[in-house]
Amino acid sequence: MPKMTIAEIEALMDQGFPDWRSLSQIIAQSETTLTLKMPFRKQLLRAGGTISGPAMMALADTAAYFLTLAQAGPVAGAATANLDIHFLARPQPVDVIATATMLRLGRRLSVSTVDLHSGDVLVAHATVTYALPPSR
């Protein structure tokens, strides 16, 4: 059972990062997954008219962070320890959907995978590890 709901994650983010909603939106949550949408903006494009890699990496990291919050609770000080991403296909200039799935939540680490879709196409796959503070 998740320790934080979508509304609770949104409220926490509103307190610390008031502009976060312009970058992504939480659209679904289940026992082990959380799904975000990165709305398309021209600023996300790189040469060639495709969504930039750094924008997709930021979305994968954000999805994993929100999933970590959902599963572990409001852990202040959680930090990205590793992000490994594989770009699989060229994303179209449309919204990108990220679905994060928890692989393991331990006392010190949270490990999840994140699949990024552009339309119906899987465009990237990431594995993200978050380091959790000792007291939670």
For the domain that residue 31 is a member of, what is the CATH number?
Answer: 3.10.129.10
Let me know if residue 96 belongs to a domain.
yes
Percent of the chain scoring above 90 in pLDDT: 79
Residue of higher predicted confidence among 88 and 16: 88
Domain range spanning residue 55?
Answer: 6-131
Let me know if residue 49 belongs to a domain.
yes
The total of structural domains in the chain comes to 1
pLDDT band at 39 (very low <50, low <70, confident <90, very high): very high
Total residue count of the chain as it appears in this document: 136
Q: Does the structure show a pLDDT above 60 at 38?
A: yes
What span, in angstroms and rounded, lies between the C-alpha atoms of 9 and 3? 10
pLDDT at residue number 136: 47
> Mean of the pLDDT values across residues 105-109?
95
Contact 56, 124 (CB under 8 A): yes
> Mean of the pLDDT values across residues 97-114?
97
Let me know if residue 15 belongs to a domain.
yes
Choose from 6-20, 38-52, 80-94 the range with maximum mean pLDDT: 80-94
Q: How far is CA 8 from the centre of its chain?
A: 16
Let me know if residue 77 belongs to a domain.
yes
Let me know if residue 1 belongs to a domain.
no
Let me know if residue 52 belongs to a domain.
yes
Let me know if residue 136 belongs to a domain.
no
Let me know if residue 17 belongs to a domain.
yes
Written as one string, the DSSP assignment of 52-64 is -HHHHHHHHHHHH
